[in-house]
């Protein structure tokens, strides 16, 4: 059996469904720039950094801007996004998340949050979950975006746990690839169709616990 010493959680799409707020803000920007942005298009933005998301959006709209203009556009989108997340409450924590993390704690597992978002602190404060994590590495602490493994390696390093003893929980294709690049185990939150490279895929944390997790990794 693989020894599991740490669990590392992505935030957006794993702990909370903030993808809908990112979508609303990007759509508002697209509409202001004169084109539409569908929920299907939004799939491409999951797990991707803010500036790369903007590049994908502008490609969809077939628009080109200078670097300075792009920074202004990204800032505008972020102000709208912050407006939305500032109204979040603990009711928006996804089902089963708190019970699962408490269950990990009871089993002496180290717990980290590893997110690409520069807004992670705001979200954690709104949902009252900052104290659940031993280590928090967010978009303000990394320079490389997923699928680069930096955010996960930094988390493991701060926890003092070797990558081979870590399990990453991710909803994004880029995030699963980052976990693989970090040589960590992973569990995808979503569907097999999208998360084709995941070790295991679950649809939610409901009825999921440490025992179930350990059974997955008996090899
Ligand atoms: C990731 C999201 O967690 O954070 C992406 O999945 C987002 O959609 C990225 O673009 C950066 O977030 P932020 O809050 O710094 O713009
Ligand atoms: Mg995510």
Q: Structural domain boundaries of the chain?
A: 6-16+90-216, 19-85
On the question of pLDDT at 1 being above 70, the answer is no
What is the secondary structure of 15-42 as a DSSP string?
TB-THHHHHHHHHHHHHHTT----HHHH
CA-11 nearest atom, ligand 1: 3
CA-19 nearest atom, ligand 1: 8
Pocket of ligand 1 (CB under 6 A): 11-12, 22, 45-50, 53, 78, 115-119, 139, 172
**Residues 176, 186 contacting (CB under 8 angstroms):** yes
Between the CA of 109 and the centroid of ligand 1 the distance, in Å, is: 26
Based on its alpha-carbon atoms, the radius of gyration of the chain, rounded to whole angstroms, reads 17
For range 21-41, the mean pLDDT: 96
- On the question of a cis peptide bond just before residue 147, with omega within 30 degrees of 0, the verdict is yes
Between the CA of 118 and the centroid of ligand 1 the distance, in Å, is: 7
pLDDT digits (tens, 9 = 90+) for 160-172: 999 999 999 999 9
pLDDT band with cut points at 50, 70 and 90 for residue 6: very high
Q: Give me the pLDDT at residue 216, please.
A: 87
Q: How would you class 218 by CB atoms within 10 Å of its CB: exposed for 0-12, middle for 13-18, buried for 19 or more?
A: exposed
Q: What is the CATH number of domain 6-16+90-216?
A: 3.40.50.1000
pLDDT digits (tens, 9 = 90+) for 164-213: 999 999 999 999 999 999 999 999 999 999 999 999 999 999 999 999 99
Q: Give me the pLDDT at residue 47, please.
A: 86
Ligand sitting nearest the alpha carbon of 139: 1
Q: Please determine whether the domains at 6-16+90-216 and 19-85 fall in the same fold group of CATH.
A: no
Length of the chain: 219
pLDDT over 90 percentage in the chain:
89
Question: Dihedrals φ, ψ of 54, to 5°?
Answer: -65, -45
On the question of pLDDT at 219 being above 70, the answer is no
For range 46-69, the mean pLDDT: 95
Q: How would you class 38 by CB atoms within 10 Å of its CB: exposed for 0-12, middle for 13-18, buried for 19 or more?
A: exposed
Between the CA of 92 and the centroid of ligand 2 the distance, in Å, is: 15
- Residue 93 carries which DSSP code? B
CATH architecture designation of domain 19-85: Orthogonal Bundle (1.10)
**pTM score:** 0.94
**Residues 26, 153 contacting (CB under 8 angstroms):** no
pLDDT digits (tens, 9 = 90+) for 122-148: 999 999 999 999 999 999 999 998 999
Between the CA of 115 and the centroid of ligand 2 the distance, in Å, is: 7
Q: Which of 10, 99, 138, 207 is catalytic?
A: 10
Q: Which residues contact 188 (CB under 8 A, 6 or more apart)?
A: 170, 171, 176, 195, 198, 199, 200, 201, 202
- Structure-token pair, residue 40: 């299907």
C-alpha to C-alpha distance for 169 and 146, rounded to whole angstroms: 13
On the question of pLDDT at 39 being above 70, the answer is yes
10: annotated active-site residue: yes
Question: Dihedrals φ, ψ of 35, to 5°?
Answer: -140, 165
What do you get for the CA distance between the two ends of the chain, in Å?
A: 6
Q: Name the closest-CA residue to atom 2, ligand 1.
A: 47
């Amino acid at each position: 059996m693989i020894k599991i010493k740490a669990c590392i959680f992505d935030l957006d799409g794993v702990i909370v469904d903030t993808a809908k707020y990112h979508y609303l803000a990007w759509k508002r920007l697209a509409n202001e720039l004169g084109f539409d942005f569908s929920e299907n298009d939004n799939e491409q933005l999951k797990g991707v950094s803010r500036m790369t998301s903007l590049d994908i959006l502008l490609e969809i709209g077939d628009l080109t801007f200078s670097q300075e203009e792009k920074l202004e556009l990204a800032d505008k989108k972020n102000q709208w996004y912050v407006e939305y997340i500032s109204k979040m409450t603990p009711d928006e924590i996804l089902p089963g998340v708190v019970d699962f993390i408490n269950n990990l704690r009871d089993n002496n597992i180290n717990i980290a949050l590893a997110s690409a978002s520069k807004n992670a602190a705001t979200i954690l404060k709104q949902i009252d979950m900052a104290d659940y994590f031993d280590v928090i590495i967010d978009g303000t602490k990394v320079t490389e975006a997923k699928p680069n493994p930096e955010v996960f390696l930094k988390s493991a390093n701060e926890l003092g746990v070797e990558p081979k003893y870590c399990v990453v929980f991710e909803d994004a294709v880029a995030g699963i690839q980052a976990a693989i690049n970090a040589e960590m185990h992973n569990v995808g939150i979503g569907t097999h169709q999208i998360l084709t490279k995941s070790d295991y895929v679950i649809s939610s944390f409901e009825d999921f616990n440490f025992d179930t997790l350990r059974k997955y990794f008996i090899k």
